[in-house]
Amino acid sequence: MTSQLGTGARPLRVAIVGAGPSGFYAAGALLQQKDYHVSIDIFDRLPTPYGLVRYGVAPDHQKIKSVIKVYERTMADSRVRYFGNVDLGSDITQPELKQHYDQIIYAVGALSDRRLDIPGEDLPGSFSATEFVAWYNGHPDFVDYEVDLSVESAVVVGVGNVAMDVTRILAKSVDELSKTDIADHALEKLAHSNIKHIHIIARRGPVQAKFTNPEIKELGELEVADVIVKPEDLVLDAASEAELAADRTTQRNMETLREFAERGVTGKPRQIHFHFLRSPVEICGDGQVTSVRMEKNLLVAKEDNYIACEGIGEFDDLPAGLVFRAIGYRSVPIPGVPFYDRWGLIPNQGGRVTATHKGETVPGEYVVGWAKRGPTGIIGTNKPDAVETVNLMLEDVPNLTPVADANPSAVVQLLQSRNVDYINFIDWQFLDQVEVKRGAPQGRPRVKITDVDEMLDLVRSKQGEE
C-alpha cells in the first residue's frame, strides 16, 4: 500500500532550484506550514548559497546581508538539504527532477540584463551593470572580466538602485572599499582607478527616478566625491508636481537632490554628475568607447498616469571611456522550462508555471522571485512573493500525482554516479569560516573565495582530515 502524500511516511518532496533569497523564503514558507510533511532539496549552480545577497548586494551594504541569518535557520532544519555546485541542465536535468520531486520551484533570479538596443552598445568599454556588479562581488564566472579604469570619465545609464551601487563603487576611495567584502581583484583594480567623473543619465526627470532615499543620500556622504545636480533640472512640470505630491519617498528623494544642487562642488577629487531628461542614442568610439550621444527628452503624461519621455531631436555628446548600463535585469531561459521572452521571465499565474504567457498551468512546477515577477523590489519583497507561490503549491497537493521514486537517496546516487562534485551545507559553512578568518586580520567581514576549484579543494581537504 502506498502512503499518502505529505505524511510522515511519504513527505512531499520539493526541489528548489536556486539558493538565493526567493528560494530560501520559499523553503521557509514550506517549513512553516502545518498541513504537510515536507522534504526539501535546494540546488545551486555555484558551491556558495545566497545568490544575490552574496553576488548582487553591494559590498558596502553589509547590514542588508545580515538577512543570511534567516536563511541559515532554514538550512539548519533537518527537512532541508543543500546541493551546491549542481547545474540544472548539465549535472541534473529538469526531467530527472520531475522523476524525483513532487513539486519543483524555480528560484533562478535574473542572471542577464536588459539592452538599450542602440548603436555601439557592444563596443569595448560598454558593459552591463550585471557584469560589473558580479565582478566586484567576486562571482566566480566574472573573475576574468576586464574593465579599464585608467579612463577619467564613466557613464552610468539608469537611475535605479543598481545605478547607485555602481556609481558608489566607482566613486569610493580605496580606504572606504577596503573595509568591505569587495572581491580582492576588484579592490586592487579600483585602488588604481583614474576615474574622476561619473555621469548618471536619467531618461526621465528627478521625480521619476527609481532609487530609494538611503541610496541617493549615500552619494552625498562619500569621502572623495561631490554630487553635482543642476538646479534647473529640478524645475518640475505639472504632471511631475502631481506625482511628487502623491509620494513620500519621491519627496524625500527630491529634498536630497535639492540639497545636492545647493551644496554644489566642494573640491573633492571625484565628481558625480546627474543628467536628467537625456536618453543615450549612440555609444560612440572607434574600437573603444569614447563618448555617449544623448538626446534631450520632454516628459509626456499618459492617460494611465504614467509619465513617459520623448526625444526632441536635440543632441549632445558626453566624453566617456566607460559605459555601464544599469537599466534592469532579465532572467535567462532554462532548458525544458517555459520562458516568456518578451518579459524575460518564466510565465506563471501567481507562481504556478504556465506553458505559455496566460496559458495552461504546468502541474508540479512553480516559480518565485525575479524569475516570477521580473527584476523589481528589495530582498524582503521576495518573502510575500514566495508565500503566495507556496500557498498555491499547498492548494495543489491533493491533485498531485506523487512521483514514483521519492527516495531522498536516489538523487544523491544519481549525482554520485555522474561524479558531480556537489557540496552540502556543512561544507559551505566550512568555506564561510575560511573566508571570515581570512578577512579578520584586515578588519574586513570576509575575503571572498572567487575560484570554484579552490572552494572544492578546500572542502575536500577538510573532508580528508575528518
- Which residues would be at the binding site for ligand NAP (CB under 6 A)? 116, 157-163, 165, 203-204, 208, 210, 215, 279, 326-329, 375-378
To ligand NAP, the closest distance from the beta carbon of 173 in angstroms equals: 20
DSSP of 408-450: HHHHHHHHHHTT---B-HHHHHHHHHHHHHHHGGGT-S-----
Closest to ligand NAP by CB, 129 vs 434, is 129
**Which residue, 15 or 294, has its beta carbon nearer to ligand NAP?**
294
End-to-end CA distance of the chain: 41
For ligand NAP, which is the closer residue by CB, 13 or 203? 203
Shortest CB 361 distance to ligand NAP, Å: 27
Integer Cα distance of 440 and 372 in angstroms? 38
- Name the residue whose CB lies closest to ligand NAP: 160
Residue 311 CB, nearest distance to ligand NAP (Å)?
Answer: 11
- The least distance separating ligand NAP from the CB of residue 378, rounded to whole angstroms, comes to 4
For the bound state, the minimum distance from the C-beta of residue 133 to ligand NAP, rounded and expressed in Å, comes to: 8
Q: Give the closest residue to 185 by CA, choosing from 232, 239, 147.
A: 147
Task: Give me the least distance between CB of 83 and ligand NAP, in Å please.
Answer: 27
User: Would you state the cell numbers that stand for residue 18, as one nine-digit string?
Assistant: 536556486
Q: Which is nearer to ligand NAP, 103 or 297 (CB)?
A: 297
DSSP state of 355: S
Report the nearest approach of ligand NAP to the CB of residue 163 (Å).
6
Tell me how far apart the alpha carbons of residues 177 and 372 are, in angstroms, rounded to a whole number: 34
Q: Is 9 helix (H, G, I), strand (E, B) or coil?
A: coil
- Nearer to ligand NAP (CB atom), residue 79 or residue 217: 217
Angle of helix 68-75 versus helix 21-32 axis, rounded to 10: 50
In the complex, minimum distance from the CB of residue 323 to ligand NAP, in angstroms, rounded to a whole number? 12
Residue bearing cell 556543512: 426
All cell numbers assigned to 371: 524569475
The DSSP H or E segment spanning 259 is helix 248-263
Q: Which residue has the cell 520539493?
A: 14
User: Going by C-beta distance under 8 Å and a sequence separation of 6 or more, which residues neighbour residue 294?
Assistant: 201, 275, 278, 279, 280, 281, 315, 316, 317, 318
Q: Which three cell numbers stand for residue 424?
A: 552540502
Cβ proximity to ligand NAP, 12 vs 345, nearer residue: 345
Q: Say if residues 116 and 159 touch (Cβ distance below 8 Å).
A: no
Instruction: State the Cα–Cα distance between residues 466 and 461, nearest whole angstrom.
Output: 9
For the bound state, the minimum distance from the C-beta of residue 286 to ligand NAP, rounded and expressed in Å, comes to 24
203: phi then psi, degrees, rounded to nearest 5 = -75, -25
Least Å from the CB of residue 213 to ligand NAP: 11
For ligand NAP, the closer of residues 139 and 203 by Cβ is 203
Nearer to ligand NAP, 14 or 157 (CB): 157
Residue closer to ligand NAP by CB (options 37, 217) is 217
Query: Given the complex with ligand NAP, which of 203 and 352 has the nearer CB atom?
Result: 203
388 near 367, Cβ under 8 Å? Answer: no
| Grid cell for residue 442 | 584586515
User: Cα(56)–Cα(69) distance, rounded to whole angstroms?
Assistant: 17
